[in-house]
A = this chain, B = another copy of it.
Amino acid sequence: MKAEIITIGDEILIGQIIDTNSAWIAEQFNLSGIEIYQITSVHDDKEHILEALKKAEEKVDLVILTGGLGPTKDDITKNVLCVYFDTKLVFHEPTFEHIKQRFKNRNIDLNKLNRDQALVPESCKVLSNKTGTAPGMWFEKNDTIFVSVPGVPFEMKYLVENEILPLLQNNGKTKAIFHKTVQTQGLPESMLAERIENWETSLPKNLKLAYLPNPMSVRLRLSAIGNDLNELKEQVQDEIERLKQLIPDHIFGFDNETLADVIGRMLVEKGQSLAVAESCTGGYISHLITSVPGSSGWYKGGITAYSNEIKQNLLSVSAESLKKYGAVSEHVVREMAAGAREKLNTDFAVATSGIAGPTGGTEVKPVGTVWIAVSSPDKTISEKFVFGDNRERNIIRSSQTALQLLRRKIINWDSNYFHKFV
């Protein structure tokens, strides 16, 4: 089944609000096997809405309209729908009873605008809205279904979940769709594409791959379309197993998991703890970690050592290393990691020292140069990276890379442990 979302309202077209409704509807519909063909945002304008309805009817089996059903004067959706379906507004007694009840519960008097909300196009099926005063509406014309819901997010969600999806499922024409997102880190999009090219080319026809890059990671989304949801899940899982063989070091999680989520899960399993020592990342690693609910169970805390004085006094970095190699150096970042692990009394510690920019770079150490170290019970590892020239992105990428190194160290340390003792 193919659908189009039409959002009505000037507030979207002047950029006053972000259209989060469409993303939510798109996700719910996709999960129910309804493919979204197009999302269209139009003005509160009769001719424009009529035109959008006509174009949508030519292409899709289902049109969902949001917005333009509230009690104020500028809402014209119902009148336009009467024109489009060649019908007229009639008074709908059950809706009026519902509105009266809501106002009575809140001790507010009804006015004419409220009463007018009980007027609905004669040819529609009324969808009862328990969360507000404006009802949803369901029309059928030729082979296309049209549904109209208010733009208030929680009212829209209520009607989609409790009225529209159940009604659509009863007609049994929808296809099954399954998505899974693979989170990768450490390979830029172009290199990742090269590494997995043969795998991508050999994917079955009913599977689609999408690259979703952001400054934190590159996500790979696999979408399978077919008749049987369980078969699709198996098919996607099989392909992911093949993908794991190709980039085992770069996959860190699935769907909405973050690196901090994954690290937290591993540390909880092992009963181990973490500290951080940040220079160029300035607290951002600590923020990513403490964004995970329950992180206080495995994260003790961190030191942002922005000045050399703090590196010496709180992390016991030696004055000699600072003088001889500079703050952005392998020696210093290793001392920072080891110092944090000792001072905060944890199993693991991760440290960063670099030049975030825009100033402070030299020929030998340009802006974007970052040293990262991870200290663990057996040893300290360190690595140098050169990112770009944008301060904000350097902070994000350094932090994400530090967490990725930490994750690898936790896994390595574990395998050494088992190798030695099991």
Contact = CB atoms under 8 A, between A and B. Distances in A.
Nearest to A73: B193
Interface in A249-288: 276, 278, 281-287
Interface in A37-64: 37-43, 48, 55
A395 B152 CA distance: 18
Nearest to A282: B290
A306 B301 contact: yes
Main secondary structure of the interface of A (DSSP, over half): mixed
B27 A16 contact: yes
Interface stretch (A138-146, A207-215, A402-410, A412-420): A207-215
A55 B52 CA distance: 11
Contact of A285 (B194, B283, B393): B283
A388 B105 contact: yes
Interface in A280-325: 281-287, 289-291, 293-296, 299-307, 309-310, 313-314
A278 to B, nearest CB: 8
B40 A13 contact: no
B211 A70 contact: yes
A221 interface: yes
A364 interface: no
A422 interface: no
B105 A366 contact: yes
Given A26-B14, A40-B38, A193-B73, A290 B302 contact: no
A362 interface: no
Given A15-B30, A395-B290, A302 B314 contact: no
A368 interface: yes
A73 B200 contact: yes
Contact of A290 (B17, B114, B194, B283): B283
A349 B74 CA distance: 39
A98 interface: no
B38 A42 contact: yes
A151 to B, nearest CB: 10
A206 interface: no
A18 B23 contact: yes
A119 interface: no
A386 B306 contact: no
Contact of A212 (B17, B20, B393): B17
Given A39-B39, A71-B189, A283-B283, 9 more contacts: A15-B24, A282-B287, A284-B287, A295-B306, A299-B306, A301-B307, A301-B314, A303-B304, A313-B345
11 contacts: A15-B25, A15-B29, A17-B23, A19-B39, A105-B386, A106-B368, A131-B390, A283-B287, A291-B391, A301-B310, A302-B303
